[in-house]
Amino acid sequence: KMSEVSEAMTKADIKPKSMHRAKTWSDDVENLYRFQQAGYRDEVEYKQVKQVDAVECWPETGFVKKLQRRDNTFYYYNRQRECEDKDVRKVKVYVY
């Protein structure tokens, strides 16, 4: 679930002000991990590139369910956590 702020930001071509690495796992880090696996910075960039209003999420967990890569192949994700502890520090958290 993203905030209204991010929905408003997707209208314009927004660039992040800064970036830091995730230190602990959270629902947000999990979703960022999924976007970055598919080749996007985050939900903002995905919506800009793919021109979509919403991202398919699992209703139980709120995690991203399916993403379309830039080459139009699809990534499908489980409803459970996929980002392992060893991968958490690889996740980039962008600040707008």
pLDDT digits (tens, 9 = 90+) for 19-71: 999 999 999 999 999 999 999 999 999 999 999 999 999 999 999 999 999 99
pLDDT higher than threshold 80 for residue 12? no
**Is pLDDT at 11 greater than 60 in this prediction?**
no
Strands 92-95 and 18-21: antiparallel
Question: Dihedrals φ, ψ of 49, to 5°?
Answer: -70, -45
pTM: 0.84
- The residue written with tokens 């930001």 in the block is 9
- Environment class of residue 69 by beta-carbon count within 10 Å: exposed (0-12), middle (13-18) or buried (19+)? middle
For residue 58, how many C-alpha atoms fall within 13 Å in the half-sphere facing its CB? 16
Q: Is 32 helix (H, G, I), strand (E, B) or coil?
A: helix
